[in-house]
């Protein structure tokens, strides 16, 4: 396996915000990511679709340092995930620098993982105040603005157990936004919700997409992909099989595996 390396051949003005090339990941003998290329421009919403086990979560986890890749590289802006170029050589980042890189990435999981013993507001300001050492007043004011954005400013002092699943997930989105991330990763954010609560979370995500947030969204919600995505990527068996504009991939898919996958949703 070759070492992760830095591609310096791309002119700056064309550099996407997230730029992954030839990403491979093994779990033992299981070759889970098989040479993924992914570009996401600033302000773009990219939806990743694919069957269970195709490597979607692993890809997001590589972007967010929750897994280390075995080959290839991911750039976030002009920085390489996990590595630093000094002179001609790449060096692995220190734990502190990895934490700094991760602080620019917001992630929302299937399980909302709010702290049960903290109010909604405390949940949201925990990272900005506790980790990023922001001024508490400022962090609270920003948290209230975020709660307004997700339609929950009246729940600031509530505890998570008093919220519906959909409300909890919207708080989790506000919490991820509180660190002012340059990119937001969503891993099946509505899969754990009762069907009647899915819509409110998707509506929140759609409005974030319209406001120009850069988002990579793994979901099985085809209607969200059609309405909110700038681009749809279909993954299968650790590879990108097909990608393009939502209508091209979702309505007139070219690859038989995309066609077979989508036929389940009709
Ligand atoms: P998806 O999100 O598309 O359902 P995943 O990225 O979760 O797929 O998983 C891809 C493959 O990697 C699966 O075969 C899964 O069993 C395996 N896998 C994921 N995480 C781990 C892990 N921590 N250890 C071992 N195998 C894993
Ligand atoms: Mg997954």
17-27 per-position pLDDT tens digit: 999 999 999 99
Q: What sign does the CA torsion over 155, 164, 114, 209 have? A: negative
Can you tell me the distance from the alpha carbon of 228 to that of 216, in angstroms, rounded to the nearest whole number? 11
Residues whose beta carbon lies within 6 Å of some atom of ligand 1: 27, 30, 32, 50, 52-58
Alpha helices in the chain (DSSP H): 56-63, 95-102, 120-125, 136-149, 165-177, 195-210, 222-228, 246-251, 256-263
pLDDT above 50 for 2: no
Provide mean pLDDT across the span 124-138. Answer: 93
pLDDT above 60 for 126: yes
Q: Which of 25, 34, 52, 53 to mutate to test the pocket of ligand 1 (most atoms within 8 A of CB)?
A: 53
Residue 48 in contact with residue 217, Cβ under 8 Å? Answer: yes
Residue 228 in contact with residue 205, Cβ under 8 Å? Answer: yes
Identify the residue whose C-alpha is closest to ligand 1 atom 15: 53
Q: In the sheet that 215-218 helps form, which strands lie side by side, from edge to edge?
A: 105-108, 183-187, 215-218, 45-49, 231-236, 239-244
Report the range of poorest mean pLDDT among 5-9, 87-91, 149-153. 5-9
Confidence of residue 156 (pLDDT cuts 50, 70, 90): very high
**Residue 32 CA, ligand 1 centroid: distance in Å:** 7
For the stretch 178-193, pLDDT in tens is 999 999 999 999 999 9
Q: What is the pTM assigned to this prediction?
A: 0.93
Provide mean pLDDT across the span 233-251. Answer: 97
Confidence of residue 6 (pLDDT cuts 50, 70, 90): very low
Q: Which pLDDT belongs to residue 5? A: 52
Strand partners of residue 234: 49, 242
The token duo for 96 is: 């502190």
Residue 179 in contact with residue 106, Cβ under 8 Å? Answer: yes
Report the range of poorest mean pLDDT among 12-21, 58-67, 216-225. 12-21
């Amino acid at each position: 396996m070759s070492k992760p390396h830095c591609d310096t051949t791309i002119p700056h003005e064309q550099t996407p915000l997230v730029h992954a090339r030839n990403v491979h990941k093994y779990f033992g003998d299981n070759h889970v990511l098989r040479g993924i290329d992914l570009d996401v421009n600033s302000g773009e919403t990219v939806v990743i679709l694919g069957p269970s086990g195709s490597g979607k979560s692993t890809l997001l986890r590589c972007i967010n340092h929750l897994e280390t890749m075995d080959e290839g590289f991911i750039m976030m802006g002009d920085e390489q995930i996990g590595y630093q170029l000094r002179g001609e050589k790449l060096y692995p980042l220190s734990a502190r620098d990895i934490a700094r890189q991760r602080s620019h990435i917001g992630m929302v999981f299937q399980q909302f993982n709010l702290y049960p013993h903290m109010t909604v507001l405390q949940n949201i300001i925990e990272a900005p105040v506790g980790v990023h050492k922001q001024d508490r007043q400022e962090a609270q004011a920003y948290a209230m603005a975020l709660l307004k954005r997700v339609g929950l400013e009246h729940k600031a002092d509530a505890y998570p157990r008093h919220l519906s699943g959909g409300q909890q997930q919207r708080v989790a989105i506000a919490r991820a936004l509180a660190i002012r991330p340059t990119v937001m990763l969503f891993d099946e954010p509505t899969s754990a919700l009762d069907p009647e609560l899915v819509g409110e979370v998707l509506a929140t995500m759609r409005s974030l997409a319209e406001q120009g947030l850069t988002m990579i969204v793994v979901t099985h919600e085809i209607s969200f992909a059609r309405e909110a995505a700038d681009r749809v990527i279909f993954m299968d068996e650790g590879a990108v099989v097909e990608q393009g504009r939502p209508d091209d991939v979702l309505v007139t898919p070219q690859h038989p595996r995309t066609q077979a996958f989508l036929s389940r949703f009709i």
